[in-house]
Amino acid sequence: MAGVVADAGAECCLMHMLGEPRTMQRDPRYGDVVDEVKAFLTQRLEFAVGEGISEELIMLDPGIGFGKTVAHNLELLDRLDELTGLGRPLVVGTSRKSFLARVIADSQGPVIADSQGPGGSEERGRRLAGTIATNVLALERGASVFRVHDVAPVRDALALAAATLHGRWTARRRGTTPRS
């Protein structure tokens, strides 16, 4: 795959995942999740560049939710700034992830009644609130690319957070590569 990407001059996103989709959530374990994800991304970045992919076209994704527990996801978000040292744009994809609803439910209690049942409007609201919060925190810690379902509210939150933190954040159009 690396050769095809290199030959095409295409952008690529290198993402960490423990195991494979069928097994990734079966008791994921790490000594230090951030150190292990960073080592993995470093190795994959070096491999991709060695295969001829232009480093300027590579983004890195710690793989929130992919072979990670709630605690692992929170640790990665808390220490996301440690991955900025890899020198490539960081992609964060927390949008609507189940761990967001679990964290909020643990702090507020479970949804007692929702006319739409599991995954109903209250849970969707919790996941949107969690998506916005985690993306703002990720921006503050160095992420610059955000994979989301609910574009408008997240874009607005990121624009306001960026103005407060360090200036202006500009949503990029699909098909353009962020430059670090």
- Mean per-residue pLDDT, 130-157: 95
pLDDT over 90, % of the chain? 67
pLDDT over 50 at 154, yes or no: yes
The reported pLDDT for the residue numbered 169 is 58
The reported pLDDT for the residue numbered 109 is 62
Tokens of 25: 């959530």
- Mean per-residue pLDDT, 114-140: 79
pLDDT over 80 at 172, yes or no: no
Q: Which residues are catalytic?
A: 97, 147
The reported pLDDT for the residue numbered 119 is 59
The reported pLDDT for the residue numbered 128 is 92
Distance CA 96, CA 53 (A): 31
Question: 118: pLDDT confidence band, cut at 50, 70 and 90?
Answer: low
- Mean per-residue pLDDT, 95-106: 89
For the chain, the structural domain boundaries read 2-165
Q: In angstroms, what CA-CA distances link 39 with 25, 55, 82, 97, 133?
A: 20, 17, 11, 24, 27
Q: What is the DSSP string of 37-96?
A: HHHHHHHHHHHHHHTT--GGGEEEE--TTSS--HHHHHHHHHTGGGGGGG-SPBEE--TT
- Mean per-residue pLDDT, 20-30: 88
Tell me the per-residue pLDDT of 70-90, one tens digit each, with 9 for 90 and over. 999 999 999 999 999 999 999
Average pLDDT, the chain: 87
The reported pLDDT for the residue numbered 25 is 83
pTM of the prediction?
0.84
The fold of 2-165 is TIM Barrel (3.20.20)
pLDDT over 60 at 38, yes or no: yes
The reported pLDDT for the residue numbered 106 is 85
The reported pLDDT for the residue numbered 179 is 47
Any idea which of 21-35, 60-74, 104-118, 161-175 has the lowest mean pLDDT? 104-118
